[in-house]
Amino acid sequence: MAAAAAGAVNAVNDCFSIGSTVVCTTCFNEEVEGEVLAFDHNTKMLILKCRSKSTEELSDIYAMNLSLCSNVQVIKECNGNFDDPQKLNLEQVKMRLRKTVERRQDYLKSKNADVSPEAQELYRAIAKQYGYNEVSWQGLNIQILNEVTISPPYRVDNVVSSSNNETSCNYIKRIIKQFFNTRPSPVPESGAAASTSSPSVSPTSSSLASGSPVPAN
């Protein structure tokens, strides 16, 4: 699989030209499409100018490591003249890189192999309100501000404060209520749906319904 991805990258390496439009898939399964600003063959680093996700007046600059990308395709070749690209704001690039690393580290903090994905999502919902530095896993329990603990199954009745801080407890309970109220209802299994729509009738209940006597033991 990795060899195939590397082969795909090598196949288009020599074809990149400034101004061309390239699309690729990152290791996070995110598709990125943009205009080529620069490409370094030795490091396989590709700089793309993409449409901004926040405003049409600006562009987002992506530094892509093609060694970690797949499905790299040149959508449109540019063989004509082009203007020199504007200089990058390196401080802004560093800031965005730092924020991206911090978001990834925060996401990893929410992972716990011993709890359900739903519990991990609740952890992230609470951390968005309090900050990831104030929320942590203590075994199977979620701990907030080092004083409020939520134990499985992570409902409002499972919220306990070691310092009897009612204000924090009530606020966390509201977060939990909102979290579960906004989640989609579970879809019943086909077998359960079939049994609900077509309940089986026992011989005894059938005999009672028809008025037939039930044999005594």
Indicate the burial class of 157 (C-beta count within 10 angstroms; 0-12, 13-18, 19 or more): exposed
The whole-number average pLDDT for the span 143-170 is 92
The fold for domain 18-74 equals SH3 type barrels. (2.30.30)
The whole-number average pLDDT for the span 113-135 is 94
Distance CA 21, CA 93 (A): 22
Contact residues for 122 (Cβ-Cβ < 8 A; gap 6+): 142, 150, 154, 176, 179
Question: Are the CB atoms for 66 and 14 separated by under 8 Å?
Answer: no
Distance CA 150, CA 179 (A): 14
| Residue 120 phi, psi (nearest 5) | -70, -35
Q: What is the mean pLDDT of the chain?
A: 79
The predicted pLDDT at position 55 comes to 82
The whole-number average pLDDT for the span 58-70 is 89
The whole-number average pLDDT for the span 148-177 is 93
| Residue 61 phi, psi (nearest 5) | -105, 125
Q: Taking the domains of the chain in order of start, what are their residue ranges? A: 18-74, 101-180
The predicted pLDDT at position 6 comes to 43
- As a residue count, the chain comes to 217
The token pair at 76 is: 């449109």
- Percent with pLDDT over 70 in the chain: 75
Which pLDDT tens digit goes with each residue over 167-209? 999 999 999 999 999 987 665 555 444 444 444 444 443 333 3
Question: Are the CB atoms for 51 and 59 separated by under 8 Å?
Answer: yes
